[in-house]
Structure 1
Amino acid sequence: MTSAGFLYPGYSAEDDYPAFAERLGPGVELHVVHTLMREDAHRVDALLDVGGADVLAEGARELRALGVDAAVWACTSGSFVFGWEGAAEQAAGVAAAAGVPASSTSFAFVDAVRRLGAERVAVAATYPDDVASRFADFLAHAGIGVASWTGRGIVTAAEVGTLAAADVLDWVASAEHADADAVLVPDTALHSAAILDELERRVGKPVLTANQVSVWQGLRLAGDTEPRDGLGTLFRTPAPAGTAPRPA
């Protein structure tokens, strides 16, 4: 049994995780621990608080008690706002408290882009522009070209969690760029488990969403790299021979 744990801030699209578990099938357990969100706001100061070391350590200790094989801080904006080095320290803190390999959604996006062999991406972010631009900077730090990025200007995770599938499909398709090899959709508050393949059909290229890459990263760090259908190109793409997963 592979057991991956996810630190999830608040309550918006946490039901994506049991939806992923159902699609992954027997042999996989996905555990969600909700972390403290003092203020629901896609604003830099609030996000720095959401991803604070004390908040994550408390949740990571809960995951340790559950006996998970790997841990992921399942929040994109609450990791990339710390910058590359800060996000690495954040993931290391989760690993120390959980006692297992750990990463975050921001690093999961980077690793997923590399797995696909994509060189340039388009970003469809739910966030206000000042936050969305920081994600583009994070990707650029990793050597990933950003052909275009757009922010939708939604301030709260709660609102993102209410977006209908048809709305998400139209919006992500509108963010596609001809020079991009894939489209990235950050924000774990966005539901995506049920529409991954439909998103890719609509866009015509790989689409990576926050909860998708978080689950993929958690399984990868736990040693489960088995290709699977029904969860987008990322899950169908096998790991190169001789590679081993690494924590952020």
Structure 2
Amino acid sequence: MTALGFLYPGHSAEDDYPRIEQLLGSDIRLDVVHTDVGEEAHRPDALRRMGSEARLAAGVEELRLAGAESVVWACTSGSFVYGWEGAHEQVRTLARTAGMPASSTSFAFVHAAQEVGARRVAIAATYPDDVAELFADFLRAGGLEVTGLKGAGVITAAEVGAWGEEEVFTLARQADAAEADALLLPDTALRTAAHVAALEKELGKPVLTANLVTVWEGLRLADRRVNAPNLGALFTREPIVQV
């Protein structure tokens, strides 16, 4: 059994995690601990407070007691808002506090894009434009080319959590660009586990979503690879041909 730990801010789309756990179809356990949000707003100042060292540290002991082998801060905006260097310091501090490998959803997007061979990406963000631009800057610092950016202007995670399939597909279609190798949906408050396979089929390219890349990152830190095609290209491993 491999146990993965996730620090998830508040309550919005955390039901993606048991769905993903079921679709992984393996000996993987996803343990989610909810962190204090404070002021719920997609504003840089509020997001920096949400991702503070004290707020993340508060959930670590529960994950340690659960036997987690890695921990991921399951929040994109609460990590990229610190910038490339600041986000590195955030996860270094989390790793020291937790005593295990650590990362965040923002770094998960960079690593996942590399995994699927995507150098050029389009972004379908629920955030206001200024916050979405910070995510684009973070990806560029990670070596990716951003071919397009669409922000939906949503202020709170609660509003995003109320979105259904229609809203997800509409935003994805609006944001996709023909020259993009992959489409990224960066909000962990957005339910996407049930939609990613259909999105990839429609758009004809990998679709990387926040909760999915977060789980994949936890697996990567624990040195586990799982083949789960229902979770899209990121979880689809080509069989090794024995010669």
Query: Which TM-score band (shorter chain)?
Result: over 0.9
What letter is aligned with 1:72?
Answer: V
TM-score normalised to the size of structure 2? 0.96
1:91 and 2:91 are equivalent in the alignment: yes
What letter is aligned with 1:33?
Answer: V
State the match for 1:131 in structure 2.
131
State the match for 2:189 in structure 1.
189
State the match for 1:42 in structure 2.
42
Instruction: List per-residue Cα deviations over 1:102-140 (Å, max 9, x = no partner).
Output: 100000000000111111000000000000000000000
Structure 2 counterpart SS, 1:106: helix
What letter is aligned with 1:102?
Answer: A
Q: Please say if residues 169 and 199 of structure 1, whose CA atoms lie closer than 8 Å, have aligned partners that are also in contact.
A: yes
Q: Please say if residues 13 and 191 of structure 2, whose CA atoms lie closer than 8 Å, have aligned partners that are also in contact.
A: yes
Structure 2 counterpart SS, 1:61: helix
Structure 1 counterpart SS, 2:130: helix
Q: Please say if residues 124 and 186 of structure 2, whose CA atoms lie closer than 8 Å, have aligned partners that are also in contact.
A: yes
State the match for 1:214 in structure 2.
214
State the match for 2:170 in structure 1.
170
Q: Please say if residues 173 and 202 of structure 1, whose CA atoms lie closer than 8 Å, have aligned partners that are also in contact.
A: no
**C-alpha distance in structure 2 between counterparts of 1:44 and 1:239, whole Å:** 43
**C-alpha distance in structure 2 between counterparts of 1:149 and 1:170, whole Å:** 14
Question: Structure 2: 5+ residue runs without aligned partners?
Answer: none
**C-alpha distance in structure 1 between counterparts of 2:26 and 2:226, whole Å:** 13
TM-score normalised to the size of structure 1? 0.94
Alignment of 1:1-248 (within 5 A): 1-237=1-237
State the match for 1:245 in structure 2.
none
**C-alpha distance in structure 2 between counterparts of 1:195 and 1:140, whole Å:** 27
> Which segments of structure 1 move beyond 4 Å, counting only runs of 4 or more?
none
Structure 2 CA distance for partners of 1:226 and 1:238, relative to 1, 3 Å: farther
Structure 2 counterpart SS, 1:194: coil
Q: Please say if residues 228 and 236 of structure 2, whose CA atoms lie closer than 8 Å, have aligned partners that are also in contact.
A: yes
Q: Please say if residues 71 and 103 of structure 2, whose CA atoms lie closer than 8 Å, have aligned partners that are also in contact.
A: yes
**C-alpha distance in structure 1 between counterparts of 2:108 and 2:144, whole Å:** 13
What letter is aligned with 2:200?
Answer: E
Instruction: List per-residue Cα deviations over 1:87-115 (Å, max 9, x = no partner).
Output: 11111111112211110000000000011
Q: Which deviates the most, 125-134 or 165-174? A: 165-174
The alignment of Structure 1 onto Structure 2 pairs a total of residues equal to 240
Note the aligned Cα RMSD (angstroms).
1.4
Q: Please say if residues 183 and 206 of structure 2, whose CA atoms lie closer than 8 Å, have aligned partners that are also in contact.
A: yes
State the match for 1:244 in structure 2.
none
**C-alpha distance in structure 1 between counterparts of 2:224 and 2:106, whole Å:** 20
Structure 2 CA distance for partners of 1:239 and 1:214, relative to 1, 3 Å: farther
Instruction: List per-residue Cα deviations over 1:3-35 (Å, max 9, x = no partner).
Output: 101000000001110110111124010000000
What letter is aligned with 2:113?
Answer: V
Offset at residue 61 of structure 1 (A): 2.3
Q: Please say if residues 57 and 93 of structure 1, whose CA atoms lie closer than 8 Å, have aligned partners that are also in contact.
A: no
**C-alpha distance in structure 2 between counterparts of 1:224 and 1:157, whole Å:** 30
Offset at residue 59 of structure 1 (A): 1.2
**C-alpha distance in structure 2 between counterparts of 1:183 and 1:237, whole Å:** 19
Question: Structure 1: 5+ residue runs without aligned partners?
Answer: 241-248
**C-alpha distance in structure 1 between counterparts of 2:188 and 2:236, whole Å:** 21
Offset at residue 238 of structure 1 (A): 5.7
Structure 2 counterpart SS, 1:226: coil
Structure 2 CA distance for partners of 1:66 and 1:159, relative to 1, 3 Å: same
Offset at residue 149 of structure 1 (A): 0.6
Offset at residue 226 of structure 1 (A): 2.7
